[in-house]
Each structure stands twice: as structure tokens, then as C-alpha cells.
Copies of this chain bind each other. A is one copy, B any other.
Amino acid sequence: MIHPTTRVLAAELPGRVGESVEISGWLHRRRGLKSVTFLILRDRSGLAQVVTAGGGPDLPEETVLRVRGTVTANPQAPDGVELTGPEVEVLSSLAEPPPFSLFRPTVPAALPVVLDHAPVALRHPHLSAVHRVSAASVAGFRSTLDGLGFTEIQTPKVVSSATESGANVFALDWFGERAYLAQSPQFFKQTMVGVFERVYETGPVFRAEPHDTARHLAQYTSLDAELGFITDHREVMAVVREAVAGMVAAVAERAFRAVGLLSVELPRVPEEIPWIHFSEAMRLLGADEPDLAPAHERALGEWALREHGSEFLFVVGYPMRKRPFYTHPEPGRPEYSNSFDLLFRGLELVTGGQRLHRHEDYLAALAARGESPEPYASYLAAFAHGMPPHGGFALGLERWTTRLTRADNVRRSTLFPRDLHRLSP
């Protein structure tokens, strides 16, 4: 580094007792007692207590400070240490106080207010912790798939036709042409199986969701994977299991402070995640529907926990008529499919399955739905030129983090949510 910094992080103080050090951060809380004033400094690693004799500097919370002092053991202090005899320097003062205090156990504001003030609200340790869990999760997803021979890809987010499903797409003007925001990298990742065999992408997808619910976003981060040379969907499920286990392990390792702060109960991921066939699930539920309703998912989640001690459950074999045209049917039972959902704590987390891989099967599937192959020309070309049996899955990052941290709304797991009503900040 050109400028070696002398800065020490709050979390490093317990190892520096007796030393004179420099810390920097935001004035998280100022508490004046009769004879001393406590300054709690917040940096990216946590909180540090600074003790000044007398009134101490009269600064508003969130002022950016640099403090030099002696690291002193004090069993009563957080982490057992505090900074004494401090010299305090203001790096940045405030133009105005924040719209709410950030030092209380929770942000004293309703969700819409929190979201309106995201740049400052997210400074609250509990709010930022959620996003540290999210970052660790993506890292775990990538490193697991890297280890399994996957190649990361970057695909276009603007496409010429709203192919996968005509509804819920955002239209835009592309140098005078009509274009659409990509709803998923589905077609790209499938064709790239022909190139790299195993691919993943972690990027934004866009759904013009007209629903204003606690689980829908108009932009979310999709963790997508696709792999070739499979026998059927069960190898895809095995990769899903590895990916989810890798995500949990990465959260435990890389975001342990956030896990502690939020009291996140990390799930155990069974070596083999239990599964149930869709038809069997319907029998169990005493229902007869082509898809699972949220109440069904919750009931199945409870069943899996009771019967298998697992917070995860694969539901396999969804009816073909509820799945996209590229879905591979179940051999011998063509009304069902080689597709699956993974439920986590009673909520759909992952959707995936085996895809068709023969060109003629694609033509037949489109014809059966009364669709022309024309808009799919370049996608279909990949299959015309030889594609192996393959399958894949997609996992919504924000939904995962929400469920993992038991948040009440997916917007808590999104730095700057985009939805029906929200286009800023």
C-alpha cells in the first residue's frame, strides 16, 4: 500500500490492550454521565467504547471521527476493552441530524420510512447485518459452483423479445427499437451449457410484478445455474443441495458477527435433502390442484420438519401444464415433469429441473402450445447443433436472505428495493 494506515478496527481492540491506537468511524452514541462521557464509535467491524473525562466533546451522533487513545481492559466495557485518554478529531461534521436515531435496538420508523431514507437507515447495525448475510451467501454460492467446475457468465439484461413469458415485462426504447428487460438468463444459460457445460450467473432480473406483497420485487438478484451431461433432474437437485450448503457455510464463516447480531438460526442442510413427488404431496394435503398454494407450501414445510427433521424439502414432478415449455416431462408419466421446487421453511426458494435437449422436442413443445418457433430462432439453434441432457435452477437471493434472517418483508433484504411504487432512492 502506498499509504500504510495506522488505523485499527473496533473488533481488533481486544488484542491491543495497553497500546496507543487510532480508530475511526461514526459517533454511534454519546452518553454523558456525571464525571465521564462515553463515545461509542461504529466502524465496519463493530462498536468501540471511548471514555473521556468530564463532558467530552459535544458532538451529534453520526459525526465522523478519528480517535487516538490507549486500549484499556475493562470487564464492564463491550468486548472487555475501551479507549482511554482519547484525542478526538472530527473528520466530517453533520449538515443535519438523521431522520431517526441509529443507536436504538431497532430503527424507530416504519418500513416505508426506512426505505425512503435507505442511505442513512442502513447504517443501523441490524439493518446492515442483513446485507452482510446476503453478501456472504452469494460468495458461498459462487465458490461452491467454482469448486464443481462451473464457469461464471455475464448475459444481456436487455432482450429483443419477451420470450419466456409475455406478461410482466418492462419495455424500453433501444436506439429506436422496442426491447425488454430480461426476466431471467434462462435461454442464455441453457445455450451456454453447449459451450462451458456448467455455468452460473449472479445478476439482476426484472419482473413487472403488479403485486404489492411482502415477497415480490420488480428487480431481484437471481442466482442461476445450469449443467449438462446429467441423467435427470436429480443431479440438478444434488447441485442445489451443494450450493445451499455452501451458502450456509459461507454465512457462518464470513458473516458470523451479523449472524450473532441478528440471532440467525442457521439451518442444517441434510446430506440428501428429503423430497416428495407432487402427486404424493397432493394426496398428503388432501388437495387436487395443478400447483401449490402458499398454504400448501407451509403445510409441506411443517411435514418435512416433522417427518424428516429438515427445514428443506424438494417437491418434485410438478404438472407439465404449470411449467414452461422447455421443461422435460417425467418419463412414463408425461403429465408430470422432471422439475422441482425447493421449499425452505415452507416457502419456495428454488425452482429448477431437467430441460428438453432435443431440437425436435422443442419444436413439438412449442407447437403443442400453439407458439411459433420464430421468436426463439437463436435459442433453438443451440439445440439444432447438438446439446446434451441438461438442467438447472434459479434461487432468489433476497428471498433466501429474508427467510434465513426471518425478516417480515423481502424489502429488508434489498438495499434499494424496486417495486410497483418504488423507483428511488
Q: Footprint of B on A, CB under 8 Å?
A: 1-3, 5, 7, 24, 26, 43-44, 62-64, 91-98, 116-120, 122-123, 128, 131-132, 134-135, 138-139, 142, 146, 149, 151-161, 170-175, 177, 179, 181, 188, 191-192, 194-198, 203-204, 206, 208, 210, 218-219, 221, 229, 231, 234-235, 237-238, 242, 254, 272, 357-360, 378-379, 381-389, 397, 414-416, 418, 420, 423-425
User: Apart from A1-B242, A3-B234, what are 16 other A-B pairs with CB-CB below 8 Å?
Assistant: A44-B198, A94-B385, A96-B385, A98-B385, A119-B195, A120-B382, A122-B195, A131-B151, A132-B196, A134-B154, A154-B397, A156-B418, A157-B219, A174-B423, A203-B203, A378-B425
A203, A238, A425: residue with the most chain B Cβ atoms closer than 10 Å: A425
Contact B172 A382 (CB under 8 A): no
Name the residue of chain B whose CB is nearest to the CB of A66. Answer: B229
Name the residue of chain B whose CB is nearest to the CB of A363. Answer: B95
Contact A152 B135 (CB under 8 A): yes
Contact A155 B120 (CB under 8 A): no
Interface class of chain A by DSSP: mixed
Chain B nearest CB from A76 CB (Å) reads 28
Chain B nearest CB from A63 CB (Å) reads 6
Contact B378 A238 (CB under 8 A): no
Q: Write 17 A-B pairs (CB below 8 A) sorted by A numbering.
A: A2-B237, A2-B272, A44-B149, A62-B385, A64-B388, A91-B229, A92-B358, A92-B389, A96-B385, A120-B381, A132-B196, A135-B151, A138-B152, A159-B423, A160-B423, A171-B172, A203-B204
Contact A206 B158 (CB under 8 A): yes
Residues of B within 8 A of A382 (CB): 119-120
Contact A95 B360 (CB under 8 A): yes
